[in-house]
Structure 1
Amino acid sequence: MGTEKEYRELFDRVAALRGQVAGKLANELGSDPKLGDALLKQLDDMLVAVETDQRTKPGPADGGIASLVGIGDTSAPDLGQTSMPPGVDAYDETVASERVIAVGDLYYLYQHERIGVFRVVQKLQELFQRGAIRLSDGPGAFGLYRFDRRDVLRYTKRDRIDAYRRVLGYGRGLGSANARPNTDFHQLFTQFNNQVALFWRDKRISDVIRERAYDPSFGSVAVVRRGGLDLRNNLKFTSYGHLNVLRVEVMQLLTEAFRILGAEDVRDLFGATNAWDTVDKVLIRYFDERLVSSPRQRMAVTGRQVLRWLAAPHILETTRSEFEALLLEIAEPAEEWITSAQSLRVADRTSSPGVLPIDRQRPAGVAAESRADRPVTPRRNGHRPGAVTLSRRD
């Protein structure tokens, strides 16, 4: 921990160095703006290194209060000799990446749950147990038997729905163990994807209009960063608990379900060529549903890619060129997620460069991503065609 005078002189020297470098390289900076970014990056790194070094040095046992107020032999003769702490760790650097990655996997699982993968396997189990389908000793039949026997070892359907509600805010009611639902997630996730897509649309336009365009108004890094930090901070506390274990188990369950649906004897029942064909044909035949498999599956894949990117420290990159290079990884996934969500009317594309206020409300015309969004099929004698009563376990 240094003194107040050393603290002040450090920033004065850095400011003078920046002014001197900018003056000597004025012509080069005008023709190559990336050179300015590189120089500022090096100066910022030097400043951060000095501050980190000062933060690790041991300070006075009393925190410097004695020298400040003039008590004892360590009393400072002037303000410049008092101890000056450099500050505390940044808030946005304290998010654990493994928890955000787990949320990405849970989002992936939620979209497959909404497609109806687990309902399809449960329906096949019901038909298999009644002897209503021509399955006996093939790999699909044996897989259905094992799937049913392992029910007691798995989280239940209710557990999964409660986790989606607690972490993602999707569905209705309370979350796991009556926790508060994370109702802000969907709007923050939509906002971040919109800002990433808008950033690259603006950048492409600027590249077409002007060669080597470098106007900050064409693609705002600050708005994208704020949207990403808002989303990541939202997930900071909701990703605690049994989420990591649950998503590993349910990912294994999903893999097992697709192994059954893609088995040769199961595919032959429906004339399907792969597991997804089996899912679609069962949903149409037994649930009379309008298929949303394609957009939902793409939302699952691209949404998980975006959340995985957010788990890395890329969002804190301050150099524009490096930030753009890192952000390019999710440019297309973000655009595709918005397009898929638009087709399901669960998100809207915005051209607004602003960020969301803290006391935000859901904008009019944008539907919430909830269980209420499922297509409603006409009822016959008080029941929907093909509807079945779901047990607590899949």
Structure 2
Amino acid sequence: MSTEKEYDELYDRLAALREQVASGLASQLSVDPQLADAINKQLDDMQAVIDAADLAAAPPPDGGLAQLAGVGPQAATVLGETRMPRGVKEYDETVASERILAVGDLYYVYQHEKIGVFKVVHKLQQLFQQGAVRLSDGPGAFGLYKFDRREVLRYTQDDRIGAYRRVLGYGSGRGAAGSRPNTDFHKLLVHFSNQVALFWRDKRISDVIRMRAYDPSFGSIAIVRRAGLDLRNNLKFTSYGHLNVLRVELMQLLDEAYRILDAPDIKELFGAANAWDVVDEVLIRYFDERLVTSPRQRMGVTGRQVLRWLGAPHILESTRAEFEALLLEIAEPAEEWITSAQSLGLAKRSETERVLPWDRHSPVGVAAPRPRRRGPNYSRRGGLGTYRGSAMSANGKRP
């Protein structure tokens, strides 16, 4: 437990020590910027040990108020003798890795659901039961027969849709009873992927225009870390419940569906070379859908890689060299995820906007849409879509 005088003197001594070290090693710091990171990390660790010891010390019963107010035998004669707390314990940025890994697997399954893998299997099953396709006793036919035999033991499609809505914020409706849709997930994932991609784009540019190609002194790791922590903290409170069990079952279901589609008799039926060709052929022939198989599948793969990286403690690394080495793992997946999402109109590539406020769906700097010109019959009292002297609604139809 430190006093106000000791508190001030400590930080003055730390500042003087930093200045003395920087002055003594000025020539080496200009040549080796990593040395500055190492020195700062050691000094920060020393300060963290002192702060932890002070936080662990038990405060007096009155919290030091008697010293400050001048009451009792422990009354302070000067302000420097009063108790000075260092603050409260920092916000816990750690999270159970298995919950973030479960979110990554659920996101992976969701993208395959959007592609239509389960829908294609159910369509083939329907055609098989109707005798409308030339399937009899092959491995694909037997797999179609067994596919829904364990349905009573599995989570239903409504359970899957409810989980997508609660954890990822995708889909429509309110989701499961008592749950709240996680509407912030997608914009935070877009923002984090953009910041990772921007960081490495800036790094590549600096490698070209500077003499020391791999000098880790360009780009801000603080922006990337803040974007990653925002996304991870968002998932911290939406990944409770039955998510772990659900994702294990869904991964088994997805594997079973793919094995059916990759069966020789199923591929021969459509003249396909692999299971994905079967998916595309069924979607075109029976559903007349616009194919999004390739970008959606890559979004599932790369998005899961990004989320898995957040499950590790890498985002808490404060040393630049170590952070860059760890971040390199998702440099290309983040860039590919942004490209795939952009091709589907699900994300916007950010070039200069670096901040994403919590109460907006687009980064700072993006121009807001211009308001429409109001006609002479617009009524403020009636609100948007209400016109004076007319019984028309906003879509031009009579109510």
TM-score by length of 1: 0.85
Counting only pairs closer than 5 Å after superposition, residues 225-244 of structure 1 correspond to structure 2 as: 225-244=225-244
- Secondary structure of 2:182's aligned partner: coil
Q: Describe the superposition over 1:195-234 as per-residue Cα deviations: whole angstroms up to 9, x where unpaired.
A: 1111111111111111127696x42222212221222222
Q: How far has the Cα of 1:241 moved from its partner?
A: 2.2
One-letter code aligned to 1:13 = R
Partner of 2:91: 91
Aligned residue in 2 for 1:180? 180
Quote the residue 1:100 is aligned against.
100
Judging by fraction of residues, say which structure has more helix: 1
Matched, 1:204 2:204: yes
Q: Using a 3 Å threshold, how does the CA distance of structure 1 residues 5 and 196 change in structure 2: closer, same or farther?
A: same
Q: Deviations over 1:116-172 (max 9, x none)?
A: 011011111111221222333322222222221111111111111121112111111
Offset of residue 86 of structure 1: 3.0
Unaligned stretches of 5+ in structure 1?
367-394
Aligned to 1:382: none
Q: Please state whether the residue corresponding to 2:150 is helix, strand or coil.
A: helix
Are the aligned partners of 1:4 and 1:79 in contact in 2 as well (CA < 8 Å)? yes
Per the alignment, in what secondary structure is the counterpart of residue 148 of structure 2? helix
Q: Report 1:1-394 matches (<5 A).
A: 1-91=1-91, 93-212=93-212, 218-362=218-362
Distance in 1 separating the partners of 2:164 and 2:327: 27
For residues 40 and 48 of structure 1, the distance between their equivalents in structure 2, rounded to whole angstroms, comes to: 12
Task: Determine if contact 1:92/1:233 at 8 Å carries over to the other structure.
Answer: no
Instruction: State the aligned residue count.
Output: 365
Shift of 1:191: 1.2
Looking at structure 2, the residues matched to 129 and 287 of structure 1 have their Cα atoms a distance apart, in angstroms, of 18
Moved more, 275-284 or 12-21: 275-284
8 Å CA contact retained: 1:188, 1:230 = yes
Cα 1:236–1:88, aligned 2, differ >3 Å: closer, same or farther? same
Q: For residues 94 and 175 of structure 2, what CA distance do their matches in structure 1 show?
A: 25
Residue number in structure 2 paired with 1:392: none
- State the Cα RMSD in Å: 2.4
Shift of 1:63: 4.0
Letter in 2 for 1:242: H
CA pair 80-248 structure 1, distance change in 2 beyond 3 A: farther
Distance 1:67 1:292, change over 3 A: same
Q: Deviations over 1:43-94 (max 9, x none)?
A: 1111112222332333434544444444555544544444433333322524
TM-score normalised according to structure 2 size: 0.84
Give the C-alpha shift of residue 300 in structure 1: 0.5
Q: Output the amino acid matched with 1:335.
A: E
Please list every run of 5 or more consecutive structure 2 residues that lacks an aligned counterpart in the other structure.
Answer: 369-399
Contact between 2:117 and 2:257, CA under 8 Å: does it hold in 1?
Answer: yes
Please say which of residues 79-88 and 221-230 is displaced more in the overlay: 79-88
Instruction: Quote the offset at 1:37 in angstroms.
Output: 1.2
Matched-pair contact (CA < 8 Å) for 1:105–1:247:
yes
**Whose radius of gyration is greater, 1 or 2?**
2
Which residue is 1:388 aligned to?
none
133-142 or 338-347: bigger deviation: 133-142
Residue identity over aligned pairs, in percent, reads 72
Greater shift, 312-321 or 322-331, is seen at: 312-321
Q: Is the 8 A contact 1:92 1:229 kept in 2?
A: no
* Cα-to-partner distance string for 1:260-306 (whole Å, 9 max, x where unaligned): 21222222222223222222222122212222111111100111111
**Per-residue deviation, 1:97:** 2.8
- Cα distance in 1 for partners of 2:144, 2:3 equals 71
Partner amino acid, structure 2, of 1:326: L
Write the distance in 2 (CA, Å) between the matches of 1:33 and 1:93: 28
